[in-house]
Structure 1
Amino acid sequence: MDIVSSILELPKQCRQAWEEALTTDLPQDWKINNIVVCGMGGSALGAHTLQVSGSVKVPMVINNNYFLPSFASEESLVVLASYSGNTEEVLSCAKDAKEKGCKIVGITSGGKLGEWIKLNNFPAYIFDPKFNSTKQPRMGIGYNIFGVSAIFHNLNLFNGNYAEDIMWNAINILEDNLEQIKTDAQDFAKKIAGKFPVIFASDYLVGNAHIFANQLNETAKTFSAYYSLPEANHHLLEGLKHPKIPTVAIFLGKHYPARILERFKITQEILEKKGWEVLSWSTDQEDQFAQCIQTLLFSSLVTAYLGLEYGEDTIGIPTVDYFKEKLN
């Protein structure tokens, strides 16, 4: 299956993960004061979306390291997320979490992490990624987002705005808008080809901006960056003079508070005066989770079409593979 066809199976990933992960057997008496999600690359991006959404009751951090943060304790939930199950940083954190007595849940398709979880009898959602023919974690984020969401739902970790009907609504809306998002993505890929893409977002879509930039790196083999507003207004605006390279700003979302929308408007005006091309994309849906999922599909398709425009291998990650081989 080609990469575009694989990406368009995102709704099936989401549906599979939500239905299956809801059946994960989890203790109901866990006292959880904070959450640490351990994952690298695509395996952590789903958690990033939930982290910035403000939907989780307790503090949550994403850990991209070999060891847990110092505050991790018996009252910490540690989510070990590794698509392949062989990510060495996550495996290292697994041992650290066990030593610290943390509450542990795994999300993986198997590998060494799957074996370790079964050996130690920890709860986990171990999925069969049958709707990700590319086998690349960044193309299987639906499993991560809805797997983590189902686990958090079962552990009563959401503030209440992430009920089951919101999840199903997001999946149904995604299915209804596949063709329109595909058309938009094709158009955007043509517009940003040959330029340095910089992604801007705010609030609950910052996780999507991060995902977009990562996908540009891995799928389109393109250098990229992302910024969140209002933070970027305090430093980036003075860094627009050098170097002189063709740059395109992509602003995600339009359903923000009025003050944020005003910041978007002024930032866009400044960028255009500095010679940047400015593009915007948003869904018509006001539901935040539905926006996140549709934006995920959009960024996945844009980067696929851009990579194909460049004649690149949009699935393989040979330089990352080379690095890992040298490291080992």
Structure 2
Amino acid sequence: MLDNPEKIHSVDKSNMLGVISSLPSQIERSKMLVTGLDVPRRIPSSIVISGMGGSSVGGELVRDWLSNQINIPVLVNRTSGLPRFADRDTLAVTVSYSGNTNETLSCAQHALRKGCQMIGITSGGRLEKFCKSNDFPFVLLPPGMPPRGAIGYLFSSVAYVLQEMGLMRVEEDLQEAKSVLEEAQKGWTVNIHTKENTAKRVAKLMEKRTPIIYGHTFYNGVARRWQTQINENAKTMAWSSELPEMDHNEIEAWAVDSRGKKFLSIFLRDRHENSETRNQVEATMEILGKKSKTQEVWAQGRTVLSRMLHNMYLGDYVSFYLAVLKGVDPTPVRAIMEVKKKVYSS
């Protein structure tokens, strides 16, 4: 199935593969979308990135990437309000690809009332109108994509906003990451046979097992991205967890519960891991390997960012090929739309 391009395209009726393959070009275009934006110039004491679903993942990647690069705390907020500490010295980045996410719009209202510095990132909708009417700067993204498919825009736009504010330099790292992704995707395309295609092979491992993706340090947001892409694209149960936290609770279940054989444990690895992280991962894999199949996924790239995005991008392709194996069109998210309709029409 995975080595028959015609069958793959017959399942992918809405062309999710085309959306996934556009990630490197999204990184390239994001700079043009942000350059010249009238961003706040006051150095913030904190940064709160608010968003839901696919629109929040970019903020999570920024947070993980910047954790050791800037002295300003970065919080990813997945609620309908800002934290109590948010004030005029807080940079509130409100991210909604559609522009109509109720929780994010509520956060924008909170930012206005609290006097925060605010920037919107959206493709239009009510968030664009809110920013215009309140004279907040905003990045206007190209419309027409599933929010999760716009991850390159959502992530890179936040990064370039921080560069425009003078908080850090991101361009060199983003360009290097773009080159790494362009090279990597050549080995994951539909025309590359399963034997030589890491994305197809990992998807095959998930065909009859429930995946749990384990991140650490810079890879916790990447692990969540794997989970949510598998959930939305392949319509398949998946979970994510993180080290070392899981070794203070979850590991006990793995040591005893016989149901572990139903799972596939995927560990996101980095050849630049420090010795403590490496020892933690390997000790954990040894215990999990007694009850479930384990699989390591190794990042490639010179910089932390390129390695993060490389492993994230592999997960996008894995989720696509798993959808093909399940025989489901990756793009429609009918259950999500049904819940939104019931919640917001009441």
User: Given the two structures, how large is their TM-score scaled by the length of structure 1?
Assistant: 0.93
Answer whether contact 1:170 1:289 (CA < 8 A) is retained: yes
The one of 316, 324, 327 equivalent to 2:340 is: 324
- The gaps in structure 2 that reach 5 residues or longer are 1-13, 190-196
Matched residue, 1:167? 174
Provide the rounded CA distance (Å) in 2 between the counterparts of 1:56 and 1:151: 14
* Structure 1 residue ranges (4+ consecutive) displaced by more than 6 angstroms after TM superposition: none
Matched residue, 1:89? 103
- The gaps in structure 1 that reach 5 residues or longer are none
Answer whether contact 1:181 1:297 (CA < 8 A) is retained: no
Q: CA deviation at 1:243?
A: 6.0
SS in 2 for 1:106: strand
Q: CA deviation at 1:293?
A: 1.6
User: Given the two structures, how large is their TM-score scaled by the length of structure 2?
Assistant: 0.89
SS in 2 for 1:180: coil
The one of 279, 293, 299 equivalent to 1:262 is: 279
Give the alignment's Cα RMSD to 1 decimal.
1.5
SS in 1 for 2:187: helix
1:45 matched to 2:67? The reply is no
Paired-residue identity, % = 29
Give CA-to-partner distance per residue, 1:5-47, whole Å, 9 cap, x none: 221111111111123223322132x131001111001101011
Answer whether contact 2:177 2:301 (CA < 8 A) is retained: no
SS in 1 for 2:57: helix
Matched residue, 1:242? 257
Provide the rounded CA distance (Å) in 2 between the counterparts of 1:286 and 1:270: 31
Provide the rounded CA distance (Å) in 2 between the counterparts of 1:84 and 1:228: 30
Q: Which amino acid aligns with 1:156?
A: G
Provide the rounded CA distance (Å) in 2 between the counterparts of 1:213 and 1:174: 20
SS in 1 for 2:211: strand
SS in 2 for 1:57: coil
The one of 276, 288, 295 equivalent to 1:279 is: 295
Give CA-to-partner distance per residue, 1:255-300, whole Å, 9 cap, x none: 2111101111111110111x21001111332411001221221111
Q: CA deviation at 1:119?
A: 1.3
1:48 to 1:186, Cα distance in 2 relative to 1, 3 A: same
Q: CA deviation at 1:157?
A: 2.6
Answer whether contact 1:22 1:154 (CA < 8 A) is retained: yes
Answer whether contact 2:160 2:170 (CA < 8 A) is retained: no
1:308 matched to 2:324? The reply is yes
1:33 matched to 2:33? The reply is no
Give CA-to-partner distance per residue, 1:82-108, whole Å, 9 cap, x none: 000000001111111101100000100
Q: CA deviation at 1:163?
A: 3.4
Answer whether contact 2:301 2:310 (CA < 8 A) is retained: no
SS in 2 for 1:72: coil
